[in-house]
Amino acid sequence: DQQVKQNSPSLSVQEGRISILNCDYTNSMFDYFLWYKKYPAEGPTFLISISSIKDKNEDGRFTVFLNKSAKHLSLHIVPSQPGDSAVYFCAAANSGYALNFGKGTSLLVTP
């Protein structure tokens, strides 16, 4: 049973606009949430994380929002750039060890 779900397989956004990637989870014991970016034939690259005691974390163009009551998190990328085109994975950890991954959302940023 998948505990982390990314329900949008793909997203297309124009360059300069905001990209919003969504993620839902079912396990209330998760205490850390991470976002990764992945290019074909490469390993996942860590982007940003948030702990369950916070509701927002920012790093440059990337902001993650956590809504614990809804068991929902989102990644905002502002402004979107063509180089952001990749597959984005949401992941969650219980007690900060192994990660449970969603299936990914493929983001395409068009000029």
- The residues binding other proteins (CB under 8 A) are 4, 6, 31-32, 34, 36, 41-46, 49-51, 53-54, 57, 89, 91, 93, 95-104
Q: How far is the CB of 107 from other proteins (least distance, A)?
A: 15
Rounded to a whole number of angstroms, the minimum distance from the CB of residue 15 to other proteins is 27
CB nearer to other proteins: pick between 11 and 79: 11
Q: Smallest distance from the beta carbon of 96 to other proteins, in angstroms?
A: 3
Q: Please state, in angstroms and rounded to a whole number, the distance separating the CA atoms of residues 89 and 106.
A: 9
Closer to other proteins at the Cβ: 51 or 67? Answer: 51
Count helices and strands (H / E) in the chain: 0, 11
Tell me the C-alpha to C-alpha distance, in Å, between residue 65 and each of 9, 24, 28, 41.
20, 12, 16, 29
Q: How far is CA 73 from the centre of its chain?
A: 8
Give whichever of 28 and 51 is closer to other proteins, judged by the CB atom. 51
**C-beta of 15 vs 31, nearer to other proteins:** 31
Q: Which residues pair with 3 in a beta bridge?
A: none
